[in-house]
Amino acid sequence: MTRLIVIGDALLDRDLHGRAERLAPDAPVPVVDAIEPSARAGGAALAAMLAARTGVEVTLVTALGRDAAGEELRSLLKGIDVIDLGLHGATPEKIRVLAGGRPVVRLDRGGESRGCGPLPDGALDGADAILVSDYGRGVAAEPTVRAALSGDVPVVWDPHPKGPEPVPGCILVTPNAKEATASAGHSDPEDAARTLVARWRAVAVAVTRGERGALMVSGDGPALAVPVTRVSSGDPCGAGDAFAATAASRIASGALPSEAVREAVEAASAFVAGEAEPASYTGDAVAVAERVRAAGGTVVATGGCFDLLHAGHVRMLEQARALGDCLIVCLNSDASVSRLKGPDRPLVEQDDRAAVLKGLGCVDAVVIFDEDDPREAIKTIKPHVWAKGGDYAVAELPEAQTLAEWGGRAVIVPYVAGRSTTRLITEVLARAR
């Protein structure tokens, strides 16, 4: 299994949710009442949890204080392997008071960090990639940590203005626009990125720009601008961690920095929108289904290989979407397609097939499944309607019995005659002779 090690400062984030309907009588400030508290892992701890949701094995190397906040933070890190270096000081806390979902004030406590203990020998062994999630509290500046980052494992570095500069040779550094321009002394993000690539001796620098996406520079080549395909007005707190965690997870799995940045932009956007698992196809689909059900709508799903997407596919998907309020596609994985279609299929790998499907206006989400049929994926989504393309009788569909467990139903949507992937392959081969 792919292993990612996240190194950095863990924070405890507290939100006090309330309502503000009047001003205080003694000062022109809002009175926030009906407060509901919530706590979550922040900083490098949040990055580690988000990375774990992408399906990689995650180890968090951090420093936790010996106090109540540190114990609470430990309890929030269930399922994450933690190497605690021991924080020399209080656990940092960020406390936001929100009224109607909007921040009114933020209170920080924990003071200035006084560093942490050394990194144990062999702590980074077996990593496919390392993410340094620096929040300026001392973990990234620890000499034993920096010395251990000089090996051959690719390093993604998410910097902080109060932290040290990235170690030389990082495969990707991910400052936001304010950090990049301030550090480089340039007002233009691309100029700043080029300066920082040279200064940090990094393979690539990706400057994150909020709703404008990201701008990546590598060497002397042209900059890569990655736009946001969907703009959300949700809470941006933690979006940078979602970006860095996704980029590092993808690089750990073998992706190029450009590929990782593209997926990271989408993940950060999904995080701001409030989706529970921004880098997971399954999590995205479940979130879509839950929102539609909660609003009283009809969830529609369909399935298939969708290798070499053609007009017949598109027409079937459009007809399926018209049956309800969202359409989720259950997509056969590469291994599943090979078992069904033969060892020379698919022609297009699963992530590319999923990306093309998600680019269609009629498709709201995609689930990739490894089994020979989509019944387990259907159980995860629990659609009201399962739309099957082709010439079948509903009674012949193995999915029908599964749908009946929660009152769902199957319908048949006709294909467009004469359109098929096999026909396209045959035509291409005939013309190549």
Is residue 364 among the annotated active site residues? no
Q: Please count the other Cβ atoms lying within 10 Å of the Cβ belonging to residue 394.
A: 14
Q: Confidence band (pLDDT; 50, 70, 90) for 274?
A: low
In a shared domain, residues 337 and 252:
no
Structural contact between residues 270 and 236, judged by C-beta atoms closer than 8 angstroms = no
In a shared domain, residues 74 and 197:
yes
Separation of alpha carbons 100 and 196, rounded Å: 40
Domain span at residue 204 reads 3-23+31-272
pLDDT at 174: 96
Q: Residue 280 pLDDT > 50, yes or no? A: no
Q: Please count the other Cβ atoms lying within 10 Å of the Cβ belonging to residue 374.
A: 26
Check which CATH number belongs to the domain holding 325 and give it.
Answer: 3.40.50.620
How do residues 102-154 score in pLDDT, each as one tens digit?
888 999 988 777 789 999 999 999 999 999 999 999 999 999 999 999 878 99
In a shared domain, residues 91 and 192:
yes
In a shared domain, residues 225 and 146:
yes
In a shared domain, residues 253 and 337:
no
**Residues 231-242, mean pLDDT to the nearest whole number:** 75
Written as one string, the DSSP assignment of 316-367 is: HHHHHHTTSSEEEEEEE-HHHHHHHH-TT--SS-HHHHHHHHHTSTT--EEE
Q: Which of 154, 131, 151 is closest to 9 using CA atoms?
A: 131
Q: Match 């406390």 to its residue by tokens.
A: 95
Answer with the one of 216, 250, 272 that is the final residue of a domain.
Answer: 272
* Strands of the 385-389 sheet, one edge to the other: 365-369, 326-332, 299-304, 385-389, 409-413
pLDDT at 283: 60
Answer with the one of 272, 305, 325 that is the final residue of a domain.
Answer: 272
**Residues 335-348, mean pLDDT to the nearest whole number:** 90
Q: Match 């294909």 to its residue by tokens.
A: 415
In a shared domain, residues 202 and 336:
no
pLDDT at 421: 65
In a shared domain, residues 98 and 153:
yes
Answer with the one of 229, 250, 272 that is the final residue of a domain.
Answer: 272
In a shared domain, residues 14 and 115:
yes
Could you list the beta-strand ranges (E) of 48-193: 57-62, 81-84, 93-99, 102-109, 129-133, 155-158, 172-173
What is the count of structural domains for the chain?
A: 2
Reported pTM: 0.65
Q: Residue 276 pLDDT > 50, yes or no? A: no
**Residues 380-396, mean pLDDT to the nearest whole number:** 79
Q: Confidence band (pLDDT; 50, 70, 90) for 414?
A: confident
Task: Tell me whether strands 93-99 and 102-109 are parallel, antiparallel or unpaired.
Answer: antiparallel
Q: Confidence band (pLDDT; 50, 70, 90) for 418?
A: low
Lowest mean pLDDT among 79-83, 224-228, 231-235: 231-235
338: Cβ contacts below 8 Å, ≥ 6 apart: 345, 346
In a shared domain, residues 213 and 293:
no
Q: Confidence band (pLDDT; 50, 70, 90) for 93?
A: very high
pLDDT at 279: 37
Check which CATH number belongs to the domain holding 264 and give it.
Answer: 3.40.1190.20
Structural contact between residues 111 and 89, judged by C-beta atoms closer than 8 angstroms = yes
In a shared domain, residues 241 and 286:
no
Among 13, 241, 284, 307, the one annotated catalytic: 241
In a shared domain, residues 363 and 215:
no
Which pair of tokens denotes residue 54?
A: 């992408």
Rounded percentage of the chain residues whose pLDDT exceeds 70: 91
